[in-house]
Amino acid sequence: LISTGGLGPTKDDITKLTFADYFGTKLVLNQQILDDLSERFAQMGRTLNDLNKAQAMVPESAESFTSPVGTAPVTWFTKQGKSIISLPGVPGEMRYLLENLVIPKLKERYTTDQIIHRTLLLAGIPESNLAEMLSVVDDEILAFTNSDARFKLAYLPDLGTIKLRLTGIGSDQKLIEQKISQWEKEIRAAANKYIYGEGSSTLPQAIGDLMRSLNATLCTAESCTGGYLAHLITSVPGSGDYYQGSIVAYANDVKTDALQVSQSTIDTDGAVSESVCGQLVRGALAKFDTTFAIATTGIAGPSGATEGKPAGTVWIGVGTHDQIITRRYNFNRNRADNIHLFAISALDLLRRFAKGLDQA
Amino acid sequence: LISTGGLGPTKDDITKLTFADYFGTKLVLNQQILDDLSERFAQMGRTLNDLNKAQAMVPESAESFTSPVGTAPVTWFTKQGKSIISLPGVPGEMRYLLENLVIPKLKERYTTDQIIHRTLLLAGIPESNLAEMLSVVDDEILAFTNSDARFKLAYLPDLGTIKLRLTGIGSDQKLIEQKISQWEKEIRAAANKYIYGEGSSTLPQAIGDLMRSLNATLCTAESCTGGYLAHLITSVPGSGDYYQGSIVAYANDVKTDALQVSQSTIDTDGAVSESVCGQLVRGALAKFDTTFAIATTGIAGPSGATEGKPAGTVWIGVGTHDQIITRRYNFNRNRADNIHLFAISALDLLRRFAKGLDQA
């Protein structure tokens, strides 16, 4: 139990007295703490007044520790194997003492389990398919029994992405790390194509890292995503280094005027079509002259559905001056979720295309 | 106290028995309920079996009501002025009975206070300035005392917008409505320029309504907002009716090539400048030939600050073919919040410009 605050020199600071009362002990002078305080004050050219001196009065039955970052000492009661610790409430003092005194001492005095996480981030695969793909590893993890190391594989799906968290808990840190590394390797072998990152990174960050590593530039041509794809890309600080811009071609006129989409293709195939999608990629590459371009054209809903193209249908294209690939996806969500899924799918298709994992 | 579930005809349905036991009563046949059930079953060409018939057994000391939407009746105990009501757990049955039986009967049996809300939505003004502007109304609301009608004005700020919620609570519905209408009028008179909507609408929806009412079209040219402004606009279903598209000119080359911004202006004034902002509006109007255009150029941060232009600086311009206005704003937030504040400010400037509330 760690309490903070109420340790100052004024009358409304009652924590020390309350603890002493609760534990049936009294306050006594701690000479070491008084000497430490005197020395510190002397270095600042100050002398202790009575209120400062009173800070060296500490509960007799507790351990007390001088604080190197303030005048209030730390008191530490131990009862029935439990620690009851009183820290000052000033945030800087509290943080310092917690990190440099309390946590190290807790580790000395108690043995606790290690908790080790390894988190892999995936896109472009439904949770159920991923679970199928990882069934062997999953079974290995479930079957593993050891009192010093227990493991769990958690599937944490978000809209369009999945966080796969492998957790090991136990006293045998070496065994935990070894098993986690082994299973991570197996997971990567089974689902490599879908893994875009690890830890707390995001898909737009992964795209940024990829563009930088390839020394490549990027642009977008967006219909149904309406600027959201550009927004995800530019949410990454420094994205201006690789991202040139976007044409948000919400109206068909903009598709034909700004992106050289052929009016006759729109008339024949519709704006939501593989052919228009390919022309949007080509138009964007011509306009921005980047290494890569992404294009989206679809129906975010709720209105706009046509025969054979329900709301949630999208064509996504990615390409370079040399090669363009297009893919059709169907989602069935509300407008906001469809737009998010379109954009995530577009970023993920670019990732796989640029890494040579998905080609024409 | 309203409980749901456990009223079915099977052995694990023990709610009725438990309540009867708790209230020290026994189950008796309710002929009315049995007749109602028989009639309903007969209409479906079915006959009651013993389990169905058992549903007409109800606690003697409770009132019981036939459910028109299921076979389980509602039982209603009254003790010390309190109601203890048992409803079936099937969601559709429960909802129907709550709305059509329980709430009307509760209203008959108890007098409760009316709670009436009026919510106004504002943008473009800091909370403290708004509070100052509304100090007279605020004081009137605070000073008003009446045991049958109590009032509260709550300021609920979000990033760039404020929800102003006027609440009246009490038994005198007429007085509450009259005072709320009076104060709403005073608030509107004092802060009209900043009010973009009411209830649960959003600023992009308000922009949509405004464009439709003016039979106008809209486009955007975005630098620092990186597509987010377009995304907010296109988050509204049917926005394609007035919104044409955006040029996301993240790189300066795109500003000069796609939006006819002058390279020499960029060289002289910098990309984040009033002159470039005005040229972005003009370029967008030329490109998309819409009624209105919005442009943003600024520094979302954390990097990119220059002498006199800290991160969080933005120039926003809105205009028509006849008139363009530009405004400088300074925010001091993280990247995501700055981008949001830039876009909200841009939408709000368009709103005020298009309504003639803010002109050159």
pLDDT digits (tens, 9 = 90+) for A38-89: 988 888 888 888 888 888 999 999 999 999 888 889 999 999 999 999 999 8
Asked if the Cβ–Cβ distance from A245 to B250 is below 8 Å, we say: yes
* Mean pLDDT of the region B135-161: 91
Q: Provide the pLDDT confidence category of residue A360 given band limits of 50, 70 and 90.
A: low
B286 touches chain A (CB under 8 A): no
Cβ contacts of residue A273 below 8 Å, gap of 6+? A265, A297, A315
Asked if the Cβ–Cβ distance from B258 to A287 is below 8 Å, we say: yes
Nearest residue in chain A measured CA to CA from B225 = A231
Q: With a threshold of 0.95, does the pTM exceed it?
A: no
Q: What is the pLDDT of residue A145?
A: 87
* From B222, B240, B336, residue closest to A250, measured CB to CB: B240
The amino acid present at A271, given as its one-letter code, is A
How far is CA B23 from each of CA A245, A301, B76, rounded to the nearest angstrom? 72, 54, 12
Alpha carbon A131 to its chain centroid, in Å, reads 22
Please spell the DSSP secondary structure of A189-227, one letter per residue.
HHHGGGEEEETT--HHHHHHHHHHHTT--EEEEESTTTT
- Distance, in Å, from the CA atom of A51 to the CA atom of B348, rounded to the nearest integer, reads 56
Please spell the DSSP secondary structure of A48-81, one letter per residue.
--HHHHHTTEEETTSEEE--TTSSSPEEEEEETT
Asked if the Cβ–Cβ distance from B247 to A258 is below 8 Å, we say: yes
* Mean pLDDT of the region B102-119: 91
* Mean pLDDT of the region A123-135: 90
pLDDT digits (tens, 9 = 90+) for A236-284: 999 999 999 999 999 999 999 999 999 999 999 999 999 999 999 999 9
Q: What is the pLDDT of residue B120?
A: 97
- For residue B114, pLDDT beyond 80: yes
Assigned token pair, A52: 């400062």
Q: Which residue has the tokens 């941060």?
A: B301
Q: What is the pLDDT of residue A113?
A: 87
Nearest residue in chain A measured CA to CA from B241 = A251
Helix (H, G, I), strand (E, B) or coil at A303: coil
- For residue B360, pLDDT beyond 70: no
User: Do the Cβ atoms of A272 and A299 come closer than 8 Å?
Assistant: yes
User: Do the Cβ atoms of A263 and A256 come closer than 8 Å?
Assistant: yes
User: Do the Cβ atoms of A284 and A295 come closer than 8 Å?
Assistant: yes
Residues of B in contact with A251 (CB under 8 A): 240, 243-245, 288
Q: What is the DSSP secondary structure assignment for residue B173, as one 8-state letter?
A: H
- Distance, in Å, from the CA atom of B154 to the CA atom of B146, rounded to the nearest integer, reads 19
Q: Provide the pLDDT confidence category of residue B40 given band limits of 50, 70 and 90.
A: confident
Q: What is the pLDDT of residue B71?
A: 85
* Mean pLDDT of the region B288-314: 95
Q: Which residue has the higher pLDDT, B41 or B336?
A: B336
Q: Provide the pLDDT confidence category of residue B45 given band limits of 50, 70 and 90.
A: confident
E strand or H helix at A162: strand A161-170
* Mean pLDDT of the region A85-109: 92
Percent of chain A with pLDDT over 90: 80
Among A105, A104, A112, A110, smallest CA distance to A173 is for A112
A246 touches chain B (CB under 8 A): yes
- Distance, in Å, from the CA atom of B114 to the CA atom of A352, rounded to the nearest integer, reads 58
Mean pLDDT across chain A = 93
E strand or H helix at A327: strand A324-330
Q: What is the pLDDT of residue B8?
A: 77
* Mean pLDDT of the region B284-302: 97
Asked if the Cβ–Cβ distance from A335 to B235 is below 8 Å, we say: yes
How far is CA B100 from each of CA A151, B16, B65, B197, B269, rounded to the nearest angstrom? 51, 21, 12, 33, 67
> How many other C-beta atoms can be found within 10 angstroms of the C-beta atom of residue B57?
19
Asked if the Cβ–Cβ distance from B287 to A222 is below 8 Å, we say: no
Within chain A, residue ranges assigned H as helices are 15-22, 31-43, 50-54, 91-97, 103-109, 127-133, 135-143, 173-191, 203-213, 228-234, 252-259, 263-269, 274-288, 335-354
Q: What is the pLDDT of residue B44?
A: 81
Residues of A in contact with B250 (CB under 8 A): 230, 234, 239-240, 243-246
* From B231, B251, B303, residue closest to A244, measured CB to CB: B251
- For residue A358, pLDDT beyond 70: yes
- Distance, in Å, from the CA atom of B226 to the CA atom of B248, rounded to the nearest integer, reads 6
Q: What is the pLDDT of residue A292?
A: 98
Asked if the Cβ–Cβ distance from B253 to A235 is below 8 Å, we say: no
The Cα angle at residue B354 between residues B348 and B358, in degrees rounded to 5: 70
The amino acid present at A158, given as its one-letter code, is D
Helix (H, G, I), strand (E, B) or coil at B109: helix
> Quick one: CA torsion of A54, A57, A63, A68, rounded to 10 degrees?
20
Residues of B in contact with A343 (CB under 8 A): none
Alpha carbon B250 to its chain centroid, in Å, reads 32
Which of B250, B280, B296 to mutate against chain A (most A CBs within 10 Å)? B250
Q: What is the pLDDT of residue B41?
A: 86
Q: Which segments of B132-242 are extended strands (E)? A: 150-157, 161-170, 195-198, 218-222
Asked if the Cβ–Cβ distance from B244 to A227 is below 8 Å, we say: no
How far is CA A11 from each of CA A7, A16, A54, A57, A215, rounded to the nearest angstrom? 10, 11, 11, 14, 65
- Distance, in Å, from the CA atom of B185 to the CA atom of B182, rounded to the nearest integer, reads 5
Which of A218, A250, A289 to mutate against chain B (most B CBs within 10 Å)? A250
What residues does A1 pair with on adjacent strands?
A: none
Q: What is the pLDDT of residue B48?
A: 85
**What is this model's ipTM?**
0.74
Pairing of strands A57-59, B63-65: unpaired
- For residue B46, pLDDT beyond 90: no
Residues of A in contact with B336 (CB under 8 A): 235
* From B231, B258, B302, residue closest to A227, measured CB to CB: B231
Among A284, A281, A312, A292, smallest CA distance to A355 is for A292
pLDDT digits (tens, 9 = 90+) for B231-247: 999 999 999 999 999 99
What residues does B63 pair with on adjacent strands?
A: B76
